[in-house]
Copies of this chain bind each other. A is one copy, B any other.
Amino acid sequence: MEGLYLVTDRELCGGRSIEWVVSRAVSGGVRYVQLREKDTSTRAFIDLAKRVKEILLPLDIPLIINDRVDVALAAGADGVHVGQDDMPYETARRILGPSFLIGLSVETWEDVVSAQDLDVDYLGVSPVFETPTKTDTKGMWGLEGLARIRAYSRHPLVGIGGLNAANAEAVVLAGADCLAVVSAICADADPFRAARDLDEIIRGALRKRPVRPAGAR
């Protein structure tokens, strides 16, 4: 896993549809899309996920659902992202099977250590920086925390929280394989251009990273 990862936020999209923002963002270089809906009915979430899946399918971009394993199954999504207050990872893996993409948020060092023996597809390092779009976190990791996780963990790392064009290079160089952004794309007047600019920075930074020794993750 490498590249730009979009997490949607309905409010930040303003009057624009999530489908439109996703379409523009994937044209600009987003490689993974996660739908996060906290206040919508199950039916509406499934319907949205199906519509977004139709956009992503021809582009071979995985659709990941935040928290809701039921919605992921119903909509034919490719993955789920679970946090520490969501379904336990092992339970989600048992229900979804070995080929489903499952990401897990790590908010404490204990979470990082517990995840080491799990066959998660990535760790969501949350939050890298303080962010107004998620308020239930336990303090930020910072670049130092991210580097410490990178040195320890065998899993791909998806950084999330306060990421934007100004800090994207530093976050990749500190060890993130993917950068998950919310407001940097959803709240931008031009999600295509925002994604394209971020993608360019991330690709450039990935090329600057030393090649990791085989087996390091």
Contacts and interface: CB of A to CB of B under 8 A. Distances in A.
Place the interface of chain A in its size category.
Answer: 20 to 34
Contact of A91 (B74, B87, B91): B74
B44 A87 contact: no
Contact of A85 (B41, B71, B87): B41
Copies in the complex: 2
Interface in A45-100: 46, 67-71, 73-74, 84-88, 91-92, 95
A42 interface: yes
A46 B85 CA distance: 10
Interface in A4-43: 41-43
Contacts of A95: 70, 73-74
Contacts of A42: 67-68, 85-87
Interface of A: 41-44, 46, 67-71, 73-74, 84-88, 91-92, 95
Q: Which 9 A-B pairs have CB atoms at the shortest separation, nearest pair first?
A: A70-B70, A69-B70, A41-B85, A42-B86, A74-B91, A43-B85, A73-B95, A42-B87, A74-B87
9 contacts: A42-B87, A43-B84, A43-B85, A46-B87, A46-B88, A70-B70, A70-B71, A70-B87, A73-B95
